[in-house]
Chain A
Amino acid sequence: MAEAVTELPIVANARGLPAPGGAPWLADLRGRGLDAFELPGRKTEAWKYTRIDALMKKTAFVPPPLIDEPASSDIPCHLALGAEGHRLVLVNGRFSPELSDLDALPRSVTVQSLASALESDPQAIAPHLGNLQPLEGYPFAALNTGLMGDGLIIRIKDGALVETPLHVISVAHAPGEAPVAFHPRLLVMVGKGAVATLLESHVGVDGGETLSNGVTEISIGADAVFHHYKVQNESLKATHLAAAQVVVGAKAVYEAFALSFGARLSRHDIRVCLDGEGAEARVNGAYAADTGQHMDTSSYIDHALPHGTSAQTYKGVVDGSGRGVFQGRINVARAAQGTSGNQLHKALLLSNKAEVDAKPELTIFADDVQCSHGATCGQLDDDHMFFLRARGLTEDEARGLLIEGFLDDVIDLVSAPAVQASMKDMVHAWLIDRSGRKEAA
């Protein structure tokens, strides 16, 4: 198996490159990452609904060329979240100081590119990098660990009230013939009692095939409130793999929302550990997949300590021959008495070729818990349709309004008004694109 993996183009083509920062601990970490990487296949339970092995074997991914970056005007900003934020731009995983906007950052926030940190003071990040992300069970996070070269390190000081969100815009860009793969790494440390918001927009510049294989590690100190909103709007030639590892301290709140429209194949892995008493996680999302798209959300909420609360609601619209996957695991440790953990996945199928697989999994070792999970999968409601049509809407108009409402309903859980509004605009834009596609077909 190990041999086969090193022969994969994505690994073989990356290997000869000089990696920035040669500290022994880093070489060791990268080595362990590559050693742990196994291409998930038919027998890999966690990936049984999302098959990626054929793509990885047949596509000759290369590391991004050191070309001139796209001009600021070439970045499809309309595909990114429209909310105000300090722009932090990654092009193919590399931090671009020119395209970013670090000047207005408040003093309570420090942002550094991973590459420069590894060069200037690698020892300072040694205790944090890879601290949260397990290598076992997360093959692509392991690959990221093996091949990572750049990304961002974001530190938010204790007690900081950061009003303007930090906005990471990750641009996937394959200007030449060769399919490009990159492995961005984000490390976010939120201090005790801090309040901050991180936005992530993943967009693609039109061009060739890309693979974004990101890992985000977030630690949230006690009593902090951290909002994390992500939009994945890459091109239909893109593959988007992302793993987020979040540790939430006592009485801290983590609120996340992930919205996906893009990529032909995407996998959003999120694992949240409630690692302090009374920690809270609100982890929600929505996706819209059409023909030629496969969207996987796999979440794992780990209640490690007492009186934690987790609430998850995901909604997906699947059209044409698109495919949606939701795997939601909640684990309640023996110590985690007084836990409340709820999870819901709702899918709306718009065609009879559309398909959704949902797999909830509850493992509970404490006895004083309130947990629930639910999954529904259905079509548009006939009574809703008739009501709207009886008010004069055509069939298409009524369907459009109901599909939009289905997604807007879960986007209402986003507590930042500007982000909520921007996400709803994106749903609206998706529907307009969709009716364009239907007319063209």
Chain B
Amino acid sequence: MALIEIKDLHASVDGKEILKGVSLTINPGEMHALMGPNGTGKSTLSNVIAGRAGYEVTSGDVLLEGRSILDMEPNERSNAGVFLAFQYPVEIPGVATSTFLKAAINAKRKFAGQKEIDAMEFLKLVKARAKELNVRDDMLKRPVNVGFSGGEKKRAEILQMALLEPKFCILDETDSGLDIDALKVVSDGVNALRSADRSFLVITHYQRLLSYIVPDFVHVFAGGRIVRSGGKELAMELEENGYAEYVDAA
């Protein structure tokens, strides 16, 4: 069975249609890249899948393991295994990163009928994952994303992903604003999470990321839908020719 199936999805914001018939099937273990010009609806697609309010799905469906998730609350989608790494991670003053991570882990455990993680186990787990992602201990003590650099924010997103172990991960421009070292750390983190039953949709503007995270499929997104699909060589072609022809076509 497909892990995720997006079927002719149409969605609008304030009455303006942004997604104009998106169809995409992702099987377990696959890495898909979604590339395209700015302002064409890539983040809208990820928000609709994650369940952000303010988007009206006018037709179509999104299925996770054959079940529609569109009527589910955002936390239910998360608990079911959907994870969105945000393009612009929010800063939350006053909420310590470690407190937040513990709350997120416990939310998932509660959903799975497990008891709360104990303090020592939590510390061990977080420290181990954080180390792999070059997330320093002092970042865990600081409020969520407050005072983090762009790269630190993106690494924090991947840390959350590593701790929640989702089935389906959307990475919305996780590479933007990263220098080459940070890009490597983030890519290594993502690659370490690749597995036979976990799938990814990596949204990016640049081919650069895809030489670190090698996709199985590449899709070109323009004008609110996927206009072309291919293998990883499509990314090279886009890098050379740009998106001009798709912008014009859309």
Where the two chains meet, the residues of A that have a C-beta atom closer than 8 Å to any C-beta of B are: 381-384, 386-395, 397-398, 401-402, 404-410, 412
Contact = CB atoms under 8 A, between A and B. Distances in A.
B104 A405 contact: no
Contacts, number: 82
Nearest to A381: B90
B143 A390 contact: no
Interface residues of B, number: 30
Given A397-B107, A401-B100, A401-B103, A391 B160 contact: yes
Interface stretch (B33-41, B73-81, B125-133): B73-81
A266 B146 CA distance: 33
Contact of A402 (B73, B84, B95): B95
A409 B104 contact: no
A426 to B, nearest CB: 15
Contacts of B94: 404-410, 412
Interface stretch (B17-25, B45-53, B199-207): B45-53
B78 A391 contact: yes
A408 B164 CA distance: 26
B242 interface: no
A391 B79 CA distance: 8
B27 to A, nearest CB: 24
A386 B53 contact: yes
Contact of B74 (A381, A390, A409): A390
B74 A389 contact: yes
30 contacts: A386-B50, A387-B90, A388-B100, A388-B104, A389-B74, A389-B78, A390-B50, A390-B52, A390-B74, A390-B75, A390-B77, A391-B100, A391-B160, A392-B78, A392-B79, A392-B107, A392-B111, A394-B75, A394-B107, A395-B73, A397-B103, A401-B99, A401-B103, A402-B92, A402-B95, A405-B94, A406-B94, A408-B95, A409-B94, A410-B94
A392 B95 contact: no
Interface in B37-89: 50-53, 73-75, 77-79, 83-84, 86, 89
A390 B95 contact: no
Contacts of B225: none
B51 to A, nearest CB: 7
Contacts of A392: 75, 78-79, 104, 107-108, 111, 164
